[in-house]
Amino acid sequence: MNDHQEEHLESAEWLRDIVIGMSDGLTVPFALAAGLSGAVQSTGIIIIAGIAEIAAGSIAMGLGGYLAGKTEIDHYNSELKREHEEVELVPEKEKEEVREFFQNLGLSEEVQQKAVEEIAQDKQKWVDFMMKHELGLEKPDPKRATKSALNIGLSYVIGGLVPLSPYFFIDTPVEALKISSLVTLLCLFTFGYFKSRMTGVHPWAGALKVMLIGAVAASAAFGVAKIFEG
């Protein structure tokens, strides 16, 4: 049962990383390509600028994912150290907290006391119990930070190539932008839907919001480029 739960958790984190990386990767390169489409006549320039942005964006997003994962690990280790100290320095207080946990489950006083004494016999298990049930913290994967950085960074690259791909095959920037807009907005809607489900937001409203943000960003970039061009 525990192995299954851990696998499920890791899958959820992996999927969350991909959705975050792809949805952001779709938006920024899309806006950049749209802006350049209103200012230049060469798709080659758009491709070069787009690839440069994708490279920079994927590194920045991957680094953000790494730092977030590292912070989670550091926080867990800090709390783990504190719990070890409390078990050593104030064991009776910690026992009382364990007893209160079982009391809240509706167990009898006799069972509460037996459970407390049983848990307190092994300090490591005692600390693990406090980490999980008092603080609500699960032991993070020590490789989580690196995995998150790779997942988000690579997803950003894949997402960024979607709005850029029509420019590889169409010579006219404005014509390429039409295809890019259709494909990218559809992808943004899809990833916005899944991203919203993961964050507890209404999925359809979230999907529409993500798609509209991408559309507004691209439209604004294209409009500004046309103004300065004129």
77's tokens: 């280790």
Residue 10's pLDDT is what?
Answer: 56
Instruction: Name which of 115, 123, 117 is nearest 83 in CA terms.
Output: 123
pLDDT digits (tens, 9 = 90+) for 121-168: 778 887 887 888 778 778 888 888 899 999 999 999 999 999 999 999
Residue 1's pLDDT is what?
Answer: 43
**What letter would DSSP give residue 134?**
T
> For residue 33, which amino acid is it?
A
121's tokens: 């016999």
* Residues 72-90, mean pLDDT to the nearest whole number: 85
What crossing angle do the helices spanning 123-133 and 91-104 adopt, rounded to 10°? Answer: 50
pLDDT digits (tens, 9 = 90+) for 31-60: 999 999 988 888 999 999 999 999 999 999
Angle CA 97–1–152, to nearest 5: 90
* Residues 168-189, mean pLDDT to the nearest whole number: 93
Euclidean distance between CA atoms 215 and 185, whole angstroms: 7
pTM confidence score: 0.76
